[in-house]
Structure 1
Amino acid sequence: MGGRSSPAGWRRRAPPPPPLLLLLVYECAIGNFGMPQYGGTMHGVVVYPKANTKACKPFADFGLSFNPKAGGLPVFLLVDRGDCYFTTKGWNAQTAGAAAVLVADDRAEPLITMDTPESSGKEHLENITVPSALVSKRFGDDLKTALENGDMVNVLLDWRESLPHPDERVEYEFWTNSNDECGAKCDMQMSFVRDFRGVAQVLEQRGYTQFAPHYITWYCPEAFVLSAQCRSQCINHGRYCAPDPEQDFTTGYDGKDVVVQNLIQICLFKVANESRKPWLWWDYVHDFAIRCPMKEKKYTTDCAHGVIKSLGMDIDKITQCVGDPDADEDNPVLKAEQDAQIGHGARGDVTILPTFVVNNRQYRGKLDKRAVLRAICSGFEETTEPDICLTQDIQTNQCLENNGGCWLDKNTNFTACKDTFRGRVCECPVVNGVKFVGDGYTHCEASGVGRCQINNGGCWKETRNGKSVSACSNEQAKGCKCPQGFKGDGVHGCEDVDECKERLFCQCKDCSCENTWGSYECGCGGSNMLYMREHDTCISKVATSSVGWGFMWVIFFGLGFAGVGAYAVYKYRLRSYMDSEIRAIMAQYMPLENQETSSHQRHVDHADI
């Protein structure tokens, strides 16, 4: 019926002796139909029907309904495995009003995936929306025992950790097939490609996701390579095979035709990915299904090339990638696909078509645009989800009610509430490059450079007579501080300091003080007094003027005396010079008395020699 699934947590609340409650955690296998609430939870009460315990018939035939009563919890219907398809059980439970289906295994074995059968009616594939899961036989027996004892059993279905969500990009794979003649499954797959194509391309183009398609093939046993069955279903001498679409080897298309078309689609993706346009794969698969269907006998390589040309892609590169299907050698592309089928880590082997793998974990549920998008959205790290994950039809915005219990600035409507796929988180915001800091619940404040531009940093600010005063300063990393001339906490307000009353200034003799908003003004008694703020003193305007003129008169008189003295010295020196010159001239004509003495003396001195 299917391979192993990725387990989700199922929590059971069963009261042993009152008033104690027992909380147990169980694993389950999510059904490959319905719509699991990836990233979320669902709480309900377990009911085991009194009749139709295997849910193979409509419950209306037994007069049973499981619609919850007003104010009551949703009903999770517990049914037994066996006698009919899993999808039939899910459909009958859903039509009876159940919110989820728990199928109790009838044997002790590892849990398997409840898959959709090939021949199941369309209502089982397209209309089943309630989530379902296979639970172990032991857990099923425990639930039945508790219900038989009259206990009320509540179960919390928890899908929050069903898919990893490590970072801000989701890697996902789509294991599919180009065959369009496989009944309801193929119809569902083509419908999904048509509906999901636009979403997938937007997510890929904006870098939110990294997508890769894959195709399942198997090999023909060596002993049967030359058989008609293997030659009609396989290429490369039995190395890569697919089932015959009509299950008839004599008519219609063969399995090898499917393998070739699968190979073309893989190579197209490789070439598109190399040109950084991987989203073209969705256009090709969509257009190929419309233009080249099997039922119209157009499922050919020539038709595929026509679609490739219409997309403007390089056919030669794709043809080179495909290689020779008749060669007796490995095809490197299909060999890699076979290797990828083998599970690594928690993913498990891929055995069911179609299969989605999100962050290396297999998705289980309906192949539906909304259901798959929900699974992809659950793979993003909280607060990194793209907007499409937070739309009304995917996720309810918890920030709309009471702001999610987070901090809110009523003046600006800045909020710490961030809606994520798994619910809201309270985280102080970043507004216009300014980061707010705080606990996110009761307090957030702007910090860093530029914080005063955002709501004045949450600080007090007031304007009077054209003068604005603020308690916020960009020189401070955070917090509020009243400026000089004010006192207070800086948040709720700043009060003017009365410098005159507190006698902080204007303490000099004859000083008078007048308080102003944020400052003060000092004056001096009388109109002839001037206040010097630097020295906190008053000086006389008149005294300052007299001293100045007296000092100037001193300078004038000094200069006058200096001039007269200089003139007298000049006259004296000039007269002395004139006297000496006159005496020298007169000495040439009449010797003077002192000159004779000098001449006689010179004569005697010469005679002695």
Structure 2
Amino acid sequence: MGTGVADPISILGLLLGLCAAVPAWSKFLVETSSLTITLPESLKGSYDSAIGNFGVPQYGGTMAGTVVYPTKQADGCTPFSESFRGPNTGGRPVFALLDRGGCYFALKTWNAQNAGAAAVLVADDKVETLITMDTPDEGKYSDLIQNITIPSALIDKTLGDSLKKVLASNEMVNINLDWRESLPHPDERVEYEFWTNSNDICGPKCDAQAEFKRDFKGVAQLLEKGGYTSFIPHYITWYCPQAFIESKQCKSQCINKGRYCAPDPEQDFNKGYQGKDVVLENLRQLCVFKVATQAKRPWVWWDYVTDFQIRCPMKNNLYNQDCAEKVITSLSLSTSDVRSCMMDPELDADNPLLKKEQDAQVGTGTRGDVTILPTLIINNRQYRGKLDRAAVMKAICSGFQETTDPPVCLSGGVETNECLEHNGGCWENKKANITACKDTYRGRVCQCPLVDGVQFEGDGYTTCEAMGLGRCKVDNAGCWQEKRGDITFSACHESQSKGCQCPRGFRGDGIKECIDIDECKEKSKCQCPECMCTNKWGDYDCGCSKDLLYIREHDTCISKKSQSSKLGWAVSLIVFLGVASLGVVGYVVYKYRLRSYMDSEIRAIMAQYMPLDSSSEVNHHLTEEA
């Protein structure tokens, strides 16, 4: 139930969209291909068909086929139970004629492709000028859209009704689709633009842009380096209406006092990134292209945007200036030049680059306004079809004048080793010939390598570090090491799974250097009054003056004589105590035996004068006496 007052966020979103998409002078041109009917005689002639913004249009080529209109499921919104390839088609490619309405254009095309159709013609359900069939925004259709490999086109209601009437009378309809003039091809160089966005959490279309940049980078750079193409990246911006410039929404989505805006990435003004973060990164990417072009390396833009989306994603909270400038530095571009190009976003004035972008959004000549992201413009004509490496390459190659096609357009595929130049912007150890750059068909990746059973770990761009057992055997794990004579010191320790640490006697970062500590100069060792210190590489020697002995554990000198006398006294004391102990024991034994003897003598004498209870002792005594 409405309240009568619209949500200000919704108002701003609507206004921003209107300001960008529908200016009073705007025009959206529909890219068409020529459709020629050769049979029946009653319909012979050429007609326009609006190229769908998905699938693979056959730019530069033609396709002939027979039209089939299904008697069931004519809207194509559900999978077809029967194949379009029947005995009545004569083995020719089949163009499925489907009714508009009921579901997305892309779903109709997908179902027809699965039933064997070579192309799809959608008949409009109302009398109107042709429109461009676009893809849905729902994520559930993203895989489907990427797998559509056939062309599609919209035809007007009048032509659609005529085709259905003829087919209902069992007449054969043969059609030629001609894309040879869909893109101009005036000379031996193709000029093309790519309208994109740095926002990476906007759903399937953002994902498709990111994948295309990675896949197409190698081809784009090869064409640019060879002088076959002239490429320019572009970014759509919005502006905030004057009445809303001071609003919280405009301030969070715009820079330069509302002149350049982008929608909030999360569609939530209270959390996450803001629209102005996207505008700033878009501007930075434009400046990277400008600085790289001035350095005569315009193709580096492709390296920057692909590396940025890998290293600085929004989902990891790395979508910021610090991360971006690390990528810029890794590509040997000047961060100060990029900053200078971006200018102050708080100025109440136009930014030359972004102003130029807004002007370029408006169509001129044969090119309409740019209102769909992403958009490719080839030779001033908007490309229609999916963002696919092979499909886009086919379109670009169709833009060269006949017989001037570069060799890359005549080959079945394009293979480029992106690791050969600047190591692909990845980490490398030139000394050990180890690199994180790995060339693949889809473009290079920066991935820390596995060398001799030792795994390197890191981001692959600026750092890779040997980890685990055996790491010191591979270029000493990148740690400092030096040998002098027969002595070698190293900052790599097998007992540690990672890192570098200078050995005892050295200090430093353990990577670039370990500097010998002069224990003598720093007065950290051998500092007793009698000590004499001599520094050595990684160690020291300490001697004592005169007749003194150095004790390293206590860092002190002691007298050798003093030591001898003390030792002699200790030994003498031990001997004396031993002898004394033996004397005492001997004396005690002696006294005991003497007393025992005297007792026995007295007993013997007394036995002669008086009887005793036992005479065993007397007898024993007498026996001994005898």
Smaller-chain TM-score bracket: 0.5 to 0.7
Q: CA deviation at 1:383?
A: 0.9
Q: CA deviation at 1:269?
A: 0.4
State the Cα deviation string for residues 31-74 of structure 1 (Å, max 9, x = none).
11100111001111111111111111111xxx222135595111
Are 1:158 and 2:178 an aligned pair? Answer: yes
1:390 is matched with 410
Q: Report the residue type matching 1:182 in the other structure.
A: C
| C-alpha distance in structure 2 between counterparts of 1:54 and 1:229, whole Å | 42
Are 1:67 and 2:85 an aligned pair? Answer: yes
**Equivalent residue in structure 2 for 1:347, among 353, 356, 367:** 367
The aligned runs of 1:494-509 (5 Å cut-off) are none
CA gap 1:71/1:107 in 2 versus in 1, 3 angstroms: closer
Contact 1:37 1:159 in 2 (8 A): yes
**Equivalent residue in structure 2 for 1:113, among 119, 122, 132:** 132
1:361 is matched with 381
1:48 is matched with 69
Contact 1:3 1:112 in 2 (8 A): no
| C-alpha distance in structure 2 between counterparts of 1:22 and 1:393, whole Å | 40
2:36 is matched with 11
Contact 2:40 2:174 in 1 (8 A): no
Q: Describe the SS at the equivalent of 1:83.
A: coil
Q: Describe the SS at the equivalent of 1:223.
A: helix
Q: CA deviation at 1:129?
A: 0.7
**Equivalent residue in structure 1 for 2:55, among 20, 30, 34:** 34
Q: Report the residue type matching 2:317 in the other structure.
A: K
Q: Describe the SS at the equivalent of 1:371.
A: helix
| C-alpha distance in structure 2 between counterparts of 1:280 and 1:85, whole Å | 38
CA gap 1:52/1:3 in 2 versus in 1, 3 angstroms: farther
Q: CA deviation at 1:238?
A: 1.1
1:196 is matched with 216
Q: Report the residue type matching 1:349 in the other structure.
A: D
Q: CA deviation at 1:221?
A: 1.1
Q: Report the residue type matching 1:194 in the other structure.
A: R
2:426 is matched with none
Q: CA deviation at 1:325?
A: 1.1
Structure 2 unmatched ranges of 5 or more: 1-20, 22-26, 415-626
**Equivalent residue in structure 1 for 2:121, among 102, 106, 113:** 102
Q: Describe the SS at the equivalent of 2:44.
A: strand
2:79 is matched with 58
2:274 is matched with 254
| C-alpha distance in structure 2 between counterparts of 1:98 and 1:202, whole Å | 35
Contact 2:38 2:174 in 1 (8 A): yes
State the Cα deviation string for residues 111-156 of structure 1 (Å, max 9, x = none).
1111111114222221011100111111111111111122111111
**Equivalent residue in structure 2 for 1:78, among 69, 94, 97:** 97
Q: Report the residue type matching 2:97 in the other structure.
A: L
| C-alpha distance in structure 1 between counterparts of 2:185 and 2:360, whole Å | 22
Q: Report the residue type matching 1:103 in the other structure.
A: V
Q: Describe the SS at the equivalent of 1:356.
A: strand
CA gap 1:68/1:344 in 2 versus in 1, 3 angstroms: farther
2:391 is matched with 371
| C-alpha distance in structure 2 between counterparts of 1:377 and 1:227, whole Å | 48
| C-alpha distance in structure 1 between counterparts of 2:171 and 2:265, whole Å | 52
Q: Describe the SS at the equivalent of 1:161.
A: coil
Q: CA deviation at 1:228?
A: 2.1
Q: Describe the SS at the equivalent of 1:173.
A: strand
| C-alpha distance in structure 2 between counterparts of 1:173 and 1:196, whole Å | 13
Q: CA deviation at 1:198?
A: 0.5
Contact 1:5 1:364 in 2 (8 A): no
Q: CA deviation at 1:108?
A: 1.6
Q: CA deviation at 1:357?
A: 0.4
Contact 1:76 1:101 in 2 (8 A): yes
Contact 1:175 1:353 in 2 (8 A): yes
The aligned runs of 1:260-339 (5 Å cut-off) are 260-339=280-359
Contact 2:83 2:116 in 1 (8 A): yes
Q: CA deviation at 1:3?
A: 4.4
State the Cα deviation string for residues 371-424 of structure 1 (Å, max 9, x = none).
000000000011111111111359xxxxxxxxxxxxxxxxxxxxxxxxxxxxxx
The aligned runs of 1:512-523 (5 Å cut-off) are none
| C-alpha distance in structure 2 between counterparts of 1:269 and 1:178, whole Å | 14
2:151 is matched with 131
| C-alpha distance in structure 1 between counterparts of 2:264 and 2:217, whole Å | 28
Q: CA deviation at 1:23?
A: 2.7
CA gap 1:123/1:68 in 2 versus in 1, 3 angstroms: farther
Q: CA deviation at 1:24?
A: 0.9
Q: Report the residue type matching 2:155 in the other structure.
A: V
Q: Describe the SS at the equivalent of 1:298.
A: coil
Q: Report the residue type matching 1:10 in the other structure.
A: L
| C-alpha distance in structure 2 between counterparts of 1:371 and 1:231, whole Å | 40
Contact 1:175 1:216 in 2 (8 A): yes
State the Cα deviation string for residues 321-344 of structure 1 (Å, max 9, x = none).
111111111111100000000001
State the Cα deviation string for residues 176-225 of structure 1 (Å, max 9, x = none).
00011111111111111111101100100010000000000111111111
Contact 2:224 2:299 in 1 (8 A): yes
Mean CA deviation greater in 66-75 or 187-196: 66-75
Q: Describe the SS at the equivalent of 1:29.
A: strand
Contact 1:75 1:98 in 2 (8 A): yes
Contact 2:85 2:91 in 1 (8 A): no
Q: Describe the SS at the equivalent of 1:25.
A: strand
Q: Report the residue type matching 1:114 in the other structure.
A: M
| C-alpha distance in structure 2 between counterparts of 1:68 and 1:390, whole Å | 34
Q: Report the residue type matching 1:312 in the other structure.
A: S
Bigger CA radius of gyration: 1
The aligned runs of 1:518-537 (5 Å cut-off) are none
| C-alpha distance in structure 2 between counterparts of 1:193 and 1:67, whole Å | 37
Q: Describe the SS at the equivalent of 2:234.
A: strand
Q: Describe the SS at the equivalent of 2:34.
A: strand
Q: Report the residue type matching 2:137 in the other structure.
A: E
Contact 1:4 1:111 in 2 (8 A): no
Q: CA deviation at 1:14?
A: 3.0
Give the TM-score, by structure 2 length: 0.60
What's the C-alpha RMSD, in Å, of the aligned pairs?
Answer: 1.7
Q: Report the residue type matching 2:167 in the other structure.
A: L
Q: Percent of counterpart pairs with the same letter? A: 62
| C-alpha distance in structure 1 between counterparts of 2:411 and 2:198, whole Å | 32
Q: Describe the SS at the equivalent of 1:175.
A: strand
Q: Report the residue type matching 2:31 in the other structure.
A: S
Q: CA deviation at 1:4?
A: 3.2
CA gap 1:85/1:3 in 2 versus in 1, 3 angstroms: farther
Structure 1 unmatched ranges of 5 or more: 395-609
Give the TM-score, by structure 1 length: 0.62
**Equivalent residue in structure 2 for 1:183, among 200, 203, 207:** 203
| C-alpha distance in structure 2 between counterparts of 1:113 and 1:350, whole Å | 13
Q: Describe the SS at the equivalent of 1:94.
A: helix
Contact 1:245 1:253 in 2 (8 A): yes
Contact 1:323 1:331 in 2 (8 A): yes
